[in-house]
């Protein structure tokens, strides 16, 4: 997932402010990091963040979760494509074409 510095940069580009407190709250404590990325808690945590830092901070919190999900999925997709390519090469099937049903 992107480092905090990337999240700060994204927030600055989007709002002109880095929202460091929000991003450090989400990513800063290794023991609470997974819980703070739990999308089932977005309402609860989002409400808390909005009350403490305002509506724009709430949007940056949601954007942070979004950017982390995207980065993680991209990483998984890359690993999966490499694993498939490696497996096909291992069995000499790199030129395998999957026929479409007619």
d(CA 55, CA 88): 50
Nearest by Cα to 10 from 75, 69, 64? 64
Q: Are 80 and 49 a contacting pair, CB within 8 Å?
A: no
- The answer to whether the beta carbons of residues 25 and 52 sit under 8 Å apart is no
Identity of the residue, 32 or 52, whose beta carbon is nearer to Zn ion in the bound complex = 32
Binding Zn ion (rule: CB under 5 A), the pick from 22, 27, 49, 61 is 27
Q: Which stretch binds Zn ion (CB under 5 A): 26-34, 48-56, 78-86, 89-97?
A: 26-34
Between 14 and 82, CB nearer to Zn ion: 14
Stretch that binds Zn ion, among 25-33, 40-48, 74-82, 85-93 (CB under 5 A): 25-33
Q: How many CB atoms lie within 10 A of CB 96?
A: 8
In angstroms, what is the minimal distance from the CB of 51 to Zn ion? 21
Shortest spacing between CB 68 and Zn ion, in angstroms: 4
The residues in 37-76 that bind Zn ion, with binding defined as CB under 5 A, are: 68
Q: Is 88 in a helix, a strand, or coil?
A: helix
Binding site for Zn ion (CB under 5 A): 27, 68
């Amino acid at each position: 997932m992107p480092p905090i510095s990337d999240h700060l940069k994204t927030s600055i580009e989007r709002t002109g402010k880095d929202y460091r407190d929000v991003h450090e709250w989400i990513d800063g404590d290794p023991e609470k990091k997974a819980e703070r990325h739990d999308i089932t808690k977005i309402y609860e945590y989002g409400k808390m963040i909005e009350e403490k830092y305002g509506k724009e901070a709430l949007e940056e919190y949601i954007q942070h979760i979004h950017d982390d999900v995207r980065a993680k999925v991209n990483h998984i997709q890359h690993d999966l494509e490499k694993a498939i390519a490696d497996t096909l090469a291992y069995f000499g099937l790199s030129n395998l074409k999957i026929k479409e049903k007619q």
